[in-house]
Structure 1
Amino acid sequence: MMKPAQRGSPERIYGMDVWRGALLTAGLIVHCAALSDITAFNMIEDASHLCRMEAFFTISGFFAALTIGKAEPADWIRHRLVMLLVPLAVGLAAAVPLSHLLIADLAKQPGFMGDYLPWQPSDWHMHMWFLIALALYVPLTFALQAQDRRVEAFGRFAARRPLSTVAALWLAGLGASLAIWAAGKALHVIGLQSIAFLLRQTTYFCFFYALGHAAFRVQAVRDLLLSPPRAVYAIAVLLAILDLAAVAVIADGKLRMLIFFVARPIVGFAVTSLVFRSAFSLRHCHKWQADLSNASYTIYLLHVPAILGLLWLLYPTGIGPWQAMAVIAPVALLILYYFHLLVVRRSSLLLLLLNGRRKATRKTVTAR
């Protein structure tokens, strides 16, 4: 079996853990921005959709390659599915029904639909879609693990033609997005919007997951992530500006979506590159960074009912969208952060239900 890249691959890369936690936690801010149809809020959402989960899935693929080589296949699958599917089941059984109740009651409040988006309760289970995607990537992980020659060949190509490699990823992401977008329209017609969304997300992000897997195993791929051609950053900046400008000024939804699909793969790669460079340069992890990373799973799983619950409490005071963003985002983050630190991590049952981990054997980020 091919050996993983050696340079810069210690047993624990604290920066990767810190960034994985930060990228998950940032979802709370993004979904606070989804409260209203204000242009600035739409731009926050769009900026996140351009790059946040690309970096997250690349890190996930990197860690999958790291961990799969340390365990028996059956043990790795069991651990992986427990970590993903137990919190998913809890979220669907508890967080989603609570979110439905809160949004249904909020929608009855006078003027609510004028100030805030008419959220559809059925949509809010989809903030946990990444757990389904990662579960579906379990067989992909084994398939990638078995492809030593192809992964090595990809590494050699990346070393010789770095710009062409990034262009290939860009075209693959764009092609997948357009193809699944077209297929998704048929699913929308028959009322399967959630399936269309899952199909689009899991198909697109598998390229970044595979990139992260290859980056752990082949030094040339990691070098490409850490030091891509400068033209990649320049193109990414230009397309990001174009995409955000489109959100602000273009009314045609199809044209905006096309611009987004064109921009997303290259912007996602460029930001992922910066994330990896930051992660590998981090030599020390502060306690608050470690705690936030370890709490991020809990925060993400529960943040939607937390946001809605705080809005339900504050809306009668006449709070507007800007004030709601300024108040609800930090308050929800602090509540869930301390809930994890003071309650979840001290309870074996809650740690299993909300994080899919067993207290006696869990690995956490350790501050230095």
Structure 2
Amino acid sequence: MSSSEIHRPDRLHGLDALRGGALLLGVVLHASLSYLPTPIWLFPDDQTSPVASVLFFAIHLFRMTAFFLIAGLFAHMLLGRRGTWGFIKDRLMRIANPLFGLWWVVFPAFIAVIVWKAAIDNGGAIPTDGPPPPPLTLETFPLLHLWFLWVLLLFYAAFLLLRAPVAALDRNGAVGRLFDRLTGVLIGPWTPIVLAAPLAVALWATPDWIAFFGIPTPDKGFVPNPASVVAFGSSFALGLMLDRRRDLLVRIERLWLVFTVMALGTGAGALALAGGPGLSLDPVTDPSLKIATACVYAVAVFTSTFAVTALSLRFLSGHSAVRRYLADASYWVYIVHLPLVLVGQVLMLDAPLPWWGKLGGIVVGVMAVALISYELLVRHTFLGRFLNGRRIPWRRSRQPVLAPAE
């Protein structure tokens, strides 16, 4: 009997752990940028390795599609619990408020670290002859790593707008039952290939597409690029459908080995077609190669997404106090991590360590600072209610505090 059949809590611990893990892996992803063989980051280090490229590529392949898949499932769950207005109020409090409130803390901190590094390079004085900052427009607004909150808000709005007329017309539930049957047909070993088809087209149509970076990150401007909308939107939509068919999570779990083997094969193929661990920054220009690379990369995205989802359902579905704590803390950690990563990268530039030692030191240091600040400033304060939907008292009562799933 599978673990998800044994543990059937209202809170899906395996998926909650994966959601938290996807956010926490952002620390590793951004920390690894300094150690890629080709300098692409603000603070490139002398210690580099192609292994860092493989690490970055592997994490970037599945992290956000897995996150949006779970976000869609939890969104449908929350709507069923709280209704439309309750859903809107919750999302405004826990998604819109952190985006528009904490951006004004994170972005200045991000700029402050850049200015600090410039002052170090300038003998301790802040340079005054630099170019003026670009104007902030709707197309250039730097969302940084908080872009996913804006995209989530867009998806929530689209979900509610599309759902309203269907719910009004589908009085007997026929449309809902049709979607449920379609979801049942969709889920199987073929699912990643079906989902990959529109993404492959979107990647192929992306001008100057750099295959190594896969889905272009919509971190600049308020209109996300088409490839990201297709990739993350299809994941989010499937999550919505899966919450209606929770029984299909067991089917996904049982395919964990199949999805894992598929992910390893297609992921290796995508990396090879993207130029290998040496990290090529050249856009794919040859039409035949671009088609092949887009197809393989798109399949790799969804095979890896379903692999980590199935593995989480199979091996992480039991309750764990540590995983639960980290899942709760992951939202705060991700929001504040990027300026901390930059500080760590600057401090490690002259450290007499190999690249993996520097990377490990940054990750451990950032996690320590972020988790301590979460415990002291967030978990037991009003910020905990805004981020996690509840505030945990300093002295817990005997009755457990129930938390929303996302």
TM bucket by the smaller chain?
0.7 to 0.9
- The alpha carbon displacement at 1:221 in A equals 4.6
Residue in 1 that maps onto 2:159: 141
- Provide the C-alpha distance between the structure 2 equivalents of 1:31 and 1:211, rounded to a whole number of angstroms: 28
Sequence identity (%): 21
Residue in 2 that maps onto 1:178: 204
- Provide the C-alpha distance between the structure 2 equivalents of 1:82 and 1:356, rounded to a whole number of angstroms: 10
- The alpha carbon displacement at 1:37 in A equals 3.0
Q: Does 2:184 match 1:151?
A: no
The number of aligned residues is: 343
- Provide the C-alpha distance between the structure 2 equivalents of 1:168 and 1:233, rounded to a whole number of angstroms: 17
2:115 to 91, 97, 104: 104
- The alpha carbon displacement at 1:59 in A equals 1.1
> Are the counterparts in 2 of residues 65 and 141 from structure 1 also a CA contact under 8 Å?
no
Q: Does 2:352 match 1:341?
A: no
> Are the counterparts in 2 of residues 14 and 284 from structure 1 also a CA contact under 8 Å?
yes
Residue in 1 that maps onto 2:61: 50
- Provide the C-alpha distance between the structure 2 equivalents of 1:358 and 1:30, rounded to a whole number of angstroms: 29
1:325 to 347, 356, 359: 359
- Provide the C-alpha distance between the structure 2 equivalents of 1:271 and 1:339, rounded to a whole number of angstroms: 32
> Are the counterparts in 1 of residues 389 and 403 from structure 2 also a CA contact under 8 Å?
no
Deviations 1:279-306 (A, max 9, x none): 3343532222111111101100000111
- Provide the C-alpha distance between the structure 1 equivalents of 2:260 and 2:354, rounded to a whole number of angstroms: 37
Indicate the RMSD between aligned Cα atoms, in angstroms. Answer: 3.7
Superposed counterparts of 1:63-212, under 5 Å:
63-110=74-121, 125-142=143-160, 143=162, 146=167, 148-158=176-186, 162-179=188-205, 181-182=206-207, 194-195=220-221, 198-199=224-225, 200-212=227-239
Q: Secondary structure at the match of 2:10?
A: coil
Deviations 1:225-267 (A, max 9, x none): 3345976554432221122333325746223986664334323
> Are the counterparts in 2 of residues 151 and 218 from structure 1 also a CA contact under 8 Å?
no
Q: 1:271 to 1:221 in 2, by over 3 A?
A: same
Instruction: Give the alignment's TM-score, normalised by structure 1.
Output: 0.79
> Are the counterparts in 1 of residues 195 and 234 from structure 2 also a CA contact under 8 Å?
yes
Q: 1:17 to 1:261 in 2, by over 3 A?
A: same
- Provide the C-alpha distance between the structure 1 equivalents of 2:142 and 2:364, rounded to a whole number of angstroms: 20
Residue in 1 that maps onto 2:328: 294
Deviations 1:151-195 (A, max 9, x none): 124124336xx455442211022123333x24999xxxxxx9823
Q: 1:214 to 1:224 in 2, by over 3 A?
A: farther
- The alpha carbon displacement at 1:148 in A equals 1.2
Residue in 1 that maps onto 2:389: 357
Q: Secondary structure at the match of 2:369?
A: helix
> Are the counterparts in 2 of residues 14 and 365 from structure 1 also a CA contact under 8 Å?
no
Deviations 1:56-102 (A, max 9, x none): 11111111121111112011111112211111123320111111121
- The alpha carbon displacement at 1:104 in A equals 2.9
- The alpha carbon displacement at 1:7 in A equals 10
Instruction: Give the alignment's TM-score, normalised by structure 2.
Output: 0.72
Q: Does 2:285 match 1:253?
A: no
- The alpha carbon displacement at 1:18 in A equals 1.5
Q: Does 2:313 match 1:280?
A: yes
| Matched AA of 2:242 | A
Q: 1:259 to 1:322 in 2, by over 3 A?
A: farther
| Matched AA of 2:268 | I
Q: Secondary structure at the match of 1:35?
A: helix
Deviations 1:14-38 (A, max 9, x none): 1221221111011000000112332
Superposed counterparts of 1:18-37, under 5 Å:
18-37=17-36
Q: Secondary structure at the match of 2:143?
A: helix
Q: 1:271 to 1:250 in 2, by over 3 A?
A: closer
- Structure 1 residue runs of 5 or longer lacking an equivalent are 1-5, 112-119, 186-191
Residue in 2 that maps onto 1:188: none
Q: Secondary structure at the match of 1:295?
A: helix
| Matched AA of 1:18 | A
Q: Secondary structure at the match of 1:278?
A: helix
- The alpha carbon displacement at 1:105 in A equals 2.6
> Are the counterparts in 1 of residues 144 and 219 from structure 2 also a CA contact under 8 Å?
no
Q: 1:224 to 1:263 in 2, by over 3 A?
A: farther
- The alpha carbon displacement at 1:358 in A equals 4.5
- The alpha carbon displacement at 1:201 in A equals 2.1
Residue in 2 that maps onto 1:116: none
Deviations 1:279-336 (A, max 9, x none): 3343532222111111101100000111122334454667775443121111111111
Max Rg structure: 2
| Matched AA of 1:357 | G
- Provide the C-alpha distance between the structure 2 equivalents of 1:343 and 1:193, rounded to a whole number of angstroms: 27
